[in-house]
Copies of this chain bind each other. A is one copy, B any other.
Amino acid sequence: MIFIPERMTPLKARRLGLDTQQELTIYLRADSAVCKSEGFSALSRVLVRTEHSHVIATLNIITGELLHGGEIGLSESAWKKLELEEGDSIWASHPPPIGSISHIRAKVYGHTLKQEQYREIIDDIVSGRYADIHLAAFITACGNDNMNNREITDLTEAMVNSGSTISWGLPIVLDKHCVGGLPGNRTTPIVVSILAASGLTVPKTSSRAITSPAGTADTMETLTNVSLSLDEMKQVVCENGGCLAWGGSVRLSPADDLLIKVERVLDIDSEGQLIASVLSKKIAAGATHVLIDMPVGPTAKVRSQKSADKLADSFRKVANALGLTIDIMFSDGRQPVGVGIGPALEARDILAVLQNTADAPSDLKARAIELAGAMLEMATDMPKGEGRKRSRELIETGKAWNKFKKICEAQGGLREPPIAPYRFELIAHQQGWVQSVDNRRLSQVAKLAGAPADLAAGVEIHVKLGDQVRPNQPLLTIHAESVGELNYAVEYLEAHEETVQVSTDKEACDAATAL
């Protein structure tokens, strides 16, 4: 006595021009036959089929006149994913239950998940079966450190297998990553240039910012094209030994890109998701040797040496389980690196170091040399200390800068970073010494100013811990692309005096800033 539905009458696809970002969304009239016959209501998840393809989308109900009877509206994301043309036939029905949601529920209830369960979650995410609220629940459930190393390994493998992978056919392929939280610490483009200039292979792919005002991909985007196809990326690396591409466009670990978009709005990171995010990108990009730069400081992402040791231990265990050679370098995370915070402002610091100009930020240069040196020593039989020396030479002889230019040319041409039209300067009101700098507050100011979406927006910091300042000396400059954003950043800065603290007591300052 089972009722077989007659072949349903198809709906006509209508492009509504609504950009809902990654969430696939469809629109149906409240009085449509399909809503009545299928029992759909607002926020229902719906299986949407064309003759060639299908997706699961979230339903928004239209109560007005936007759609005619028999039409189905689609968001830009759904339209593109289904490769539709205006008027194409579409069938809407109930989706099968998303099996992997029960794994998230199990994780919330404190259970350890198995390899197969992570695989199912990641498959469902990459297939677009998760609504944004499911992604939010997955991220939150894996928050803190409630995944063990075995689970992180399984999640990493699932993420690697969810997209393309590259095999270089070489015994040594290098990569690096900085565990963020330290504004302006944009060493990657410099390190890649040094290593490629010394003949090694560094196919660098980077993410955009998660919760910070800039990621390496955001910064590089102000200097050249970073959206390379897999073939383009291979070509650049074969010719130049390195590249500086955005990971998202080459579909390496695509699950990571979907998760990051929700993480950014939520502003919640998780240790397990962090390791899986980093290592899945490296493995998918074909890396064999990876250096992790881990800044430690009270307002950095990793706040104490104890947390750093724990995170490093997980990184090592997961990397080893996945056959990756890894080295972790702890660094001083008490204050920003370089001058600029924000995509274009950081790009200017990079150019200054590579061009070996007199005003190049010495801390950024020193860090890049440190990291490139360690990677040279990890990848070759160079004796300890020799890597650092060689790295300095490659910068100071201009060889790294030449290599950087060649990489940018190969990616589509080197360009000038944009300049923001609106600025605000914070000045010192008295003479004294810089006692503390709050990385988190500074990042917040840069984000309120519009970074990373506005490439020219951000903050320049003109002082370092312990510096002596005179009255009226500029401490910070905020850059913004709009007046509204500049005002928000200024208001926030004025409400948070602790962002940069100047003390009149030199001894107290020395005590506070001692390493």
Q: Which residues of A contact B (CB under 8 A)?
A: 1-5, 15-21, 27, 30, 36-39, 41-43, 45, 60-66, 76, 93-94, 97, 101, 104-105, 108-110, 131-137, 139-141, 143-144, 261-262, 265-268, 270, 422-425, 444, 448, 450, 453-454, 457, 481-488, 490, 492
Contacts and interface: CB of A to CB of B under 8 A. Distances in A.
Nearest to A480: B39
Given A18-B62, A39-B484, A141-B143, 4 more contacts: A21-B43, A38-B482, A39-B453, A109-B143
A258 to B, nearest CB: 13
Q: Which of A21, A64, A101, A137 has the most CB of B within 10 A?
A: A137
How many copies are assembled? 2
Contact of A37 (B18, B76, B144, B483): B483
Given A39-B482, A144-B108, A60 B20 contact: yes
Contacts of A262: 133
Given A139-B137, A424-B2, A94 B484 contact: yes
B268 A104 contact: yes
Contact of A137 (B109, B137, B444): B137
A84 to B, nearest CB: 14
Contacts of A141: 140, 143
B144 A39 contact: no
A325 to B, nearest CB: 31
Interface of A is mostly: mixed
Contacts of A3: 422, 424, 483, 486-487
B63 A453 contact: no
A46 B485 CA distance: 12
A262 B134 CA distance: 10
Which 9 interchain pairs have the tightest Cβ spacing? A17-B64, A108-B143, A140-B140, A133-B136, A19-B61, A136-B136, A17-B63, A137-B140, A39-B450
Contacts of A485: 38-39, 94
Nearest to A454: B39
Contact of A16 (B64, B270, B490): B64
A4 B482 contact: no
Nearest to A45: B265
A485 B45 CA distance: 14
B133 A265 contact: yes
A402 to B, nearest CB: 36
A481 to B, nearest CB: 6
B267 A105 contact: yes
A21 B40 CA distance: 13
Given A15-B64, A16-B66, A108-B140, A93 B484 contact: yes
Nearest to A110: B144
Contacts of A267: 101, 105
Contacts of A487: 2-5
A105 B19 contact: no
Contacts of A16: 64, 66
A425 B20 contact: no
Contacts of A66: 16-18, 66
A388 to B, nearest CB: 36
A305 to B, nearest CB: 18
A37 B268 CA distance: 28
A42 B264 CA distance: 13
Nearest to A38: B484
Contacts of A76: 63
Contacts of A486: 2-3
Contact of A488 (B64, B94, B101): B94
Contacts of A261: 43
A104 B268 CA distance: 9
A173 to B, nearest CB: 35
A267 B102 CA distance: 9
Q: Which of A16, A61, A486 has the most CB of B within 10 A?
A: A16
B482 A265 contact: no
Contacts of A137: 136-137, 139-140, 266, 268
Given A136-B136, A143-B141, A481-B39, A18 B268 contact: no
25 contacts: A1-B424, A2-B487, A3-B424, A3-B486, A3-B487, A5-B487, A17-B64, A18-B61, A19-B63, A20-B42, A20-B60, A37-B483, A38-B482, A39-B454, A39-B484, A45-B265, A94-B448, A94-B484, A94-B488, A104-B268, A105-B267, A108-B270, A137-B139, A137-B266, A141-B143
A88 to B, nearest CB: 16
Nearest to A67: B17
A19 B5 contact: no
A3 B478 CA distance: 12
Contacts of A454: 39
A490 B2 contact: yes
A16 B265 CA distance: 25
